[in-house]
Amino acid sequence: MDLARTQVSGRTRGAAARLGLLAVPVAFFAVFFAYPVAAIVSRGLKADGAWHLGRIGEVLAQSDVRHVLWFNTWQALVSTALTLLIALPGAYVFARLSFPGKQVLRAVVTVPFVLPTVVVGTAFLALVGRGGLLDELWGVRLDTTVWAILLAHVFFNYAVVVRTVGGMWAQLDPRQEEAARMLGASRAQAWRQVTLPALAPAVAAAALMVFLFTFTSFGVVQILGGPTFSTLEVEIYRQTSEIFDLSTAAVLTLIQFAAVGAILALHAWTVRRRETALRLVDPSVTARRPRGAGQWALLGGVLVTAALLLLLPLTVLVQRSLDAPGLGYYRALTREDGGVFLVPPIEAIGNSLSYAVAATLVAVVVGGLAAVALTRRDAGRFVRGFDALLMLPLGVSAVTVGFGFLIALDEPPLDLRSTWILVPLAQALVGVPFVVRTMLPVLRAVDTRLREAAAVLGASPWRVWREVDLPLVRRALLIAAGFAFAVSLGEFGATVFIARPDNPTLPVAVARLLGRPGELNYGQAMALSTILMVVCAVALLVLERLRTDRTGEF
């Protein structure tokens, strides 16, 4: 009886401790996400103390707004379809085939995902824009066309499909398909009736994530779309910073918020299906060397796709940064120009690194506490609902968040507008979801009996975490920190509003250089983009060395 009472008391203390830990993430998101977004929406839809909800209908009745909504949805659907079509063969190759250099190729495939969207846009500008490689060779320009945007989106999201679907595919027992073949099914029938239904939840989850990232695309469309094409995010930026029409921006923010909420709800449902669909096997036993002409041809096709789609834009980016003799574009970064920048552009490197380190610390603390609180599968509705809310910063307009920071955080006790901490806080909002999604699967894999045994022996919740959980999740924690660092380094939508002219970040500096005419400005943008790409690639290679099969894909 005493033992049972002790176990119940331990579980009660553990649940109370988890709810206490959740207080910090809840407060963080309430103050630095919900409050700024609500402030800018309220500023746009309220006048003389009254709400003007009729403005929503007025905005939706505008033909240019309807065009933006149509293009935003259309390009996201087409981008998602193209990404699935091009990336699913790669998912199979990484899941089922074993070949030399596989780990290096996996890292190469993942590099585009952690690159800032500004770098992606710049790389494709060097490839398909005016004076780009295609323009020089064949006189073909694709910038300011929808094809440039679609290809850049496939480039950026290729790894989402390969890692998400390939991770599940590698764990499917191939003997199930072999059994169907022995019962008379053809190879196509066995794949369609056995493998495809098992992969469907992973494919759906990957498709929804790709749709989310392309639906909220900003940096890529801002650079490649020109004045012709505009997504919701780009239009919110234009209405906020150029036209100063906050009411239209508020309506567009609400529309994007509702759409993102629906997408995330669908994604959460597909992830739950994926987790409980079937029994999985060790992925190390399912990959074999290619057999037959078909598998070798498929491997060759994936290698060619990776070379043309992923490596070529980055190679052209580096080449364009070296066009000036004697590293002229890089040396120009060390000089003040007396124009947009109040400091030499090279200082953006140190600014970005210091901001990213601070943002990573915040994201790891907030995301780590949230992941620990969400570990219990029997958590209440509030806890499960907050799990879904943690993903909202990935889809809600970063432009709205950044401008909301300027409006909401300008009075005591939260007068942060003139402080350096404002930028890391905005970047941490994007990093927290990656920390949670990386740590949560590993924390849930920890045997709960270990925690219960420690609690029965009198260990406090903090000691249980320090001596049971932490040794098992230390590697996942380092990977989460790496992802938070990479995404913080490349955050652009919010930072473009709140980074001060004397402290620009790398993405902001690249965008400002691209917005100015002249070959020198263009070359400096290429040079800064190359530096940013190298830093992100190094961070990713470190993550690959730390990655474990039990760690979340993203």
Q: Using one digit for the tens of pLDDT, what is the confidence trace for 523-548? A: 888 898 899 888 887 877 776 666 54
Q: Are 192 and 120 in contact (CB under 8 A)?
A: no
- Based on the number of CB atoms within 10 Å of its own CB, is 150 exposed (0-12), middle (13-18) or buried (19 or more)? buried
**Percent with pLDDT over 70 in the chain:** 81
Rounded CA-CA distance 464/335 in Å is 54
- Collapse the DSSP code of 249 into the 3-class scheme (helix H, G, I; strand E, B; otherwise coil) and give the result: helix
Exposed e or buried b per residue across 308-328, where buried means at least 16 C-beta atoms within 10 angstroms of its C-beta: ebbeebbebbbebbbebeeee
In order, the DSSP letters of 457-503 are: TT--HHHHIIIIIHHHHHHHHHHHHHHHHHHHHH--TTHHHHS-TTS
**What confidence category does residue 3 fall into, taking pLDDT thresholds of 50, 70 and 90?**
very low
pLDDT in tens, 467-490: 777 776 777 788 788 878 888 888
Q: Residue 549: is its pLDDT beyond 50?
A: no
**Percent with pLDDT over 90 in the chain:** 12
pLDDT at 551: 45
Determine the average pLDDT of the residues in 395-404: 80
Q: Residue 377: is its pLDDT beyond 60?
A: no
Exposed e or buried b per residue across 434-452, where buried means at least 16 C-beta atoms within 10 angstroms of its C-beta: bbbbbbbbbbeeeeeeebb
Radius of gyration, CA atoms only, the chain: 24
Average pLDDT of every residue of the chain: 80
Please name the residue that has the structure tokens 């420690």.
454
pLDDT at 16: 56
Q: Are 144 and 224 in contact (CB under 8 A)?
A: yes
Q: Residue 495: is its pLDDT beyond 90?
A: no
Q: Residue 360: is its pLDDT beyond 90?
A: yes
Token code pair at residue 360: 């990573």
Q: Residue 396: is its pLDDT beyond 90?
A: no
pLDDT in tens, 133-170: 787 877 777 777 888 899 999 999 998 888 878 877 77
Q: Residue 7: is its pLDDT beyond 50?
A: no
